[in-house]
């Protein structure tokens, strides 16, 4: 490999940018109107320039964040239910000896 090729390859690798979990999360979260478009543009720029890098740790953290938010949204969207005790009627303790 020629010296020029090595320099070009090293320069290309030095430009790489590791995208953080927060950038992925902000891109996914459409409720944050301030951060979402900025994060989406950043990821788009990294994708087009081929300078963006994702690690397995970032992808795993992103999955955990998105899954947790989805579960909370599901729980918040469910209709409120009364406790199971009132649905079944009063509970009676057995007075029989064992």
Please, what is the average pLDDT of the chain?
78
**Structure tokens given for 57:** 């740790």
> Per-residue pLDDT for 88 more than 70?
no
Tell me how far apart the alpha carbons of residues 4 and 35 are, in angstroms, rounded to a whole number.
40
| pTM: predicted TM-score of the whole model, two decimal places | 0.57
The pLDDT value given to residue 16? 86
DSSP E strand stretches across the chain: 17-18, 52-53
| Chain centre distance of CA 79 | 25
pLDDT at 32 over 70: yes
Q: What tens digit of pLDDT does each residue of 47-73 get?
A: 999 999 999 999 999 999 988 876 666
pLDDT tops 60 at residue 93: no
Say if CB 58 and CB 22 are below 8 A apart: no
Residue ranges with strand state E in 2-92:
17-18, 52-53
């Amino acid at each position: 490999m020629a010296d020029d090729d090595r320099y070009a390859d090293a320069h290309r690798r030095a430009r790489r940018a590791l995208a953080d979990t927060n950038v992925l999360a902000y891109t996914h979260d459409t409720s944050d109107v301030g951060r979402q478009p900025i994060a989406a543009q950043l990821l788009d720029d990294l994708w087009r320039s081929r300078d963006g890098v994702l690690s397995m740790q970032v992808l795993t953290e992103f999955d955990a964040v998105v899954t947790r938010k989805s579960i909370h949204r599901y729980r918040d969207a469910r209709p409120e239910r009364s406790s199971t005790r009132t649905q079944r009627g009063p509970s009676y303790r057995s007075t029989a000896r064992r």
